[in-house]
Structure 1
Amino acid sequence: MRYVDGLRIPTLLFEAAAWQYSIKVTCACGRSAVFDPHALWHRFQRSRWDETFAKARDRFYCRECWRTKCRKLRPVKFETCREEPTVRLPMPDEREWKRAINRFRG
């Protein structure tokens, strides 16, 4: 977590989920996708991937660019937003999420 002008800025997927920020990923071609932060955090936890924004960004690529150009183009933007998710992933179990929140608070 970091602060800019007194506002807290999430640096981890878990922080984004705890503070109700969606994750928006934008490709150089202009396509973008908005992910539910809880489901994205859950996906990273199950795969044991690093959930910092800098490392998480490297796990994404544009499917359309992959399909048309056969190249995995990494996103140019990986940011938080307040938009509705456009990509649906499996959500974490409620007990698992509550355990994680308690660890975060404690």
Structure 2
Amino acid sequence: MARYRDGLKQATCLLEAAAWHYAVKVSCGCGHFALFDPHVLFWRFHCRGWPDDFRAVRAKMWCRACRQSLGQKVRPRRLDLIQPYPRDMITLTQPDEREWKRILNRYRG
């Protein structure tokens, strides 16, 4: 369910970020960051049966650069939403258009 800050809606899960077209920026304490397309990130979590709220998303992600240098998984420090879409986002497999519309209708319904 969306939160409100200063009268504006704020997404609390990946489905809301995807429905409202916000890119997801994941930042590590070391300074590295990655930008994800919210549709594919939601689809990945949905297909695996993982919860899509931002606390659960943060617990599933880790910094690849820190993993290579330190040899252990380092969880991201921040998850931010960015609009408009940047061009250099990480994209994975897209959901089928029919399936995506079914999910959105269930969300809005």
Q: TM-score, normalised by structure 1?
A: 0.96
Amino acid at match of 2:98: R
Q: Shift of residue 105 of structure 1?
A: 1.2
Match of 1:87 among 86, 90, 104: 90
The share of aligned pairs that are identical, in percent, is 45
Q: Which structure 2 residue ranges, 5 or more long, are not aligned?
A: none
Match of 1:102 among 89, 101, 105: 105
Amino acid at match of 2:28: C
Matched, 1:32 2:70: no
Structure 1 segments of 4 or more deviating over 6 A? none
Which residue is equivalent to 1:58? 59
Distance 1:29 1:95 in 2: 40
Distance 1:18 1:86 in 2: 17
Is the partner of 1:68 in helix, strand or coil? helix
Which residue is equivalent to 2:73? 72
Which residue is equivalent to 2:50? 49
Deviation string, structure 1 residues 1-33 (Cα, Å, up to 9, x no partner) = 100111000001000000000000001110000
Q: Shift of residue 68 of structure 1?
A: 1.1
Q: Shift of residue 71 of structure 1?
A: 1.2
Q: Shift of residue 86 of structure 1?
A: 2.2
Distance 2:91 2:100 in 1: 17
Amino acid at match of 1:22: A
Distance 2:43 2:67 in 1: 25
Distance 2:91 2:70 in 1: 25
